[in-house]
C-alpha cells in the first residue's frame, strides 16, 4: 500500500478529532469513496488503540519523600537567613568595618610618629648653655662643667679694658683675699683671662664688692645670664658690681632673671639718655633731682653694705652660683 503523507496527516487529525464538523464530513466522504484510505484509517486507528491500551505506570512508592529529601538537600547550602540573623550579620559587618578603620588610623598614627622621629631634628640640649671663651676670638657656647650643673645661677661676665694687666691683677688679688682660690678655675691667654667661679651667693657678693674699684678702668662690662628656656640670654650692658651682686643674690633663679631684665632695661635706657642723668641722679644722694615731696628717692635694693663682714664664712659652702668672668684686653 502506498502511503501518502498528506492523506496520513488528514486521517490522523480525523482520528484525533482535531477537525471541525465540516472537515470531518469531508474526510468521511473521502474514506467512503476510497477503500485504500479507509484501510489506512483502520491501520492508524489500531496504532492509536494499541498505545492507548498500554497499562498506566504509577510512580514508585516513596517518590514524594525522595523529592522532599532532594529539595532539603539542595536548600541547605542556600538556606535563607532569618531577619534576626540578617540584622546581626549587618551589625557584625558594621563592627568589623569600624574596627578596620580604627586599626588603620592607629597604624597611620604609629607610622607618622616613626616618620616624624626620623625626619625632625634631634632634641635641643637638656642642660642650659653658658657662655665661655676658650681662646681669643668670638665667644662660643659650650656645655658647662658638672659644678655648673649643680648651680642655681649661671652667668657670664665680660669685662673689656685697656688696662688688662691691672684689672687682671686686681681680680686675682680679690679672689685670694676672699679665700676663693679653691672655687676658681683659671684659664689665661696673652690678652684674656677666664675665671670660672663656683661659690655661694654670699661669696660672689663679697667678691663683687671688692672688684668695685676696677670698674673705673673698664671699657665695658656686660653680663649674660642663660635662661632656663634655652632661648636668648638676658644681656645686661654696663652692669655694675652692685647689680651683679643683686642679680646673683636672689633666692631663686627666676627672680635673678627678673632682676637682670630690670637692670638690662634700666641700663639701656640710662645709656640712651644724654649725659646719663638718671643713673647719676640715682647714685647721687645729695642731688635734688630726685627729691620730690611725697615720693621717696629711688634706691638700688639688695646691695648689702655689710658684705665685707661675712667673708670669714667659707665661700664654697652651699655652692649655688656659677659665674664665668672673662677679662679681655681692649684694642
Interface residues with another protein (CB under 8 A) are 3, 5, 8-9, 12-13, 16, 18, 39, 42-44, 46-60, 63-64, 66-68, 70-71, 74
Of residues 42 and 92, the one with the C-beta less far from another protein: 42
Task: Select from 291, 292, 243 the least CA-distant residue to 268.
Answer: 243
Find the shortest distance in angstroms from Cβ 82 to another protein.
13
Of residues 57 and 76, the one with the C-beta less far from another protein: 57
Find the shortest distance in angstroms from Cβ 88 to another protein.
22
- Residue 269's CB is within 10 A of a number of other CB atoms, namely 12
**Nearest 5°: CA angle at 148, between 235 and 326?**
50
- Burial class of residue 64 in the structure, from the number of CB atoms within 10 Å of its CB (0-12 exposed, 13-18 middle, 19+ buried): exposed
Find the shortest distance in angstroms from Cβ 16 to another protein.
7
Q: Pairing mode, if any, of strands 192-199 and 321-329?
A: antiparallel
Find the shortest distance in angstroms from Cβ 29 to another protein.
20
Find the shortest distance in angstroms from Cβ 35 to another protein.
10
Contact residues for 144 (Cβ-Cβ < 8 A; gap 6+): 127, 128, 129, 130, 132, 154, 322
Of residues 6 and 331, the one with the C-beta less far from another protein: 6
Grid cell locating 231? 632661648
Of residues 5 and 138, the one with the C-beta less far from another protein: 5
Of residues 23 and 268, the one with the C-beta less far from another protein: 23
Task: Select from 143, 121, 120 the least CA-distant residue to 131.
Answer: 143
Amino acid at each position: 500500500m502506498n502511503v501518502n503523507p498528506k492523506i496520513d496527516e488528514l486521517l490522523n487529525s480525523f482520528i484525533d478529532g482535531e477537525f471541525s464538523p465540516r472537515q470531518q464530513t469531508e474526510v468521511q466522504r473521502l474514506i467512503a469513496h476510497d477503500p485504500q484510505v479507509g484501510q489506512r484509517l483502520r491501520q492508524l486507528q489500531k496504532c492509536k488503540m494499541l498505545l492507548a491500551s498500554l497499562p498506566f505506570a504509577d510512580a514508585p512508592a516513596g517518590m514524594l519523600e525522595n523529592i522532599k529529601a532532594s529539595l532539603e538537600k539542595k536548600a541547605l547550602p542556600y538556606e535563607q537567613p532569618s531577619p534576626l540573623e540578617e540584622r546581626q550579620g549587618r551589625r557584625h559587618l558594621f563592627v568589623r568595618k569600624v574596627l578596620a578603620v580604627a586599626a588603620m588610623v592607629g597604624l597611620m598614627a604609629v607610622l607618622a610618629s616613626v616618620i616624624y622621629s626620623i625626619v625632625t631634628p634631634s632634641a635641643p640640649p637638656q642642660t642650659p648653655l653658658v657662655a665661655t671663651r676658650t681662646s681669643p676670638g668670638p665667644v662660643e657656647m659650650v656645655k658647662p662643667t658638672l659644678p655648673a650643673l649643680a648651680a642655681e645661677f649661671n652667668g657670664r661676665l665680660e669685662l673689656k679694658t685697656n688696662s688688662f694687666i691691672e684689672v687682671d691683677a686686681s681680680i686675682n688679688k680679690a679672689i685670694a683675699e676672699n679665700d676663693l682660690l679653691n672655687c676658681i678655675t683659671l684659664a689665661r691667654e696673652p690678652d684674656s683671662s677666664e675665671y670660672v667661679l663656683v661659690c655661694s651667693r654670699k661669696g660672689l657678693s663679697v667678691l663683687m664688692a671688692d672688684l668695685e674699684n676696677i670698674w673705673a678702668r673698664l671699657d665695658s662690662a656686660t653680663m649674660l645670664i642663660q635662661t632656663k628656656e634655652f632661648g636668648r640670654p638676658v644681656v645686661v650692658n654696663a652692669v655694675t658690681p652692685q647689680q651683679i651682686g643683686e642679680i646673683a643674690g636672689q633666692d631663686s633663679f627666676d627672680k635673678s632673671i627678673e632682676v637682670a631684665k630690670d637692670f638690662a632695661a634700666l641700663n639701656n635706657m640710662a645709656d640712651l639718655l644724654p649725659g646719663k642723668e638718671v643713673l647719676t641722679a640715682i647714685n647721687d644722694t645729695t642731688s635734688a633731682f630726685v627729691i620730690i615731696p611725697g615720693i621717696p628717692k629711688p634706691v638700688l635694693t639688695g646691695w648689702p653694705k655689710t658684705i665685707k663682714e661675712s667673708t670669714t664664712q667659707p665661700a664654697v659652702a652651699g655652692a649655688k652660683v656659677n659665674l664665668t668672668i672673662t677679662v679681655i684686653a681692649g684694642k
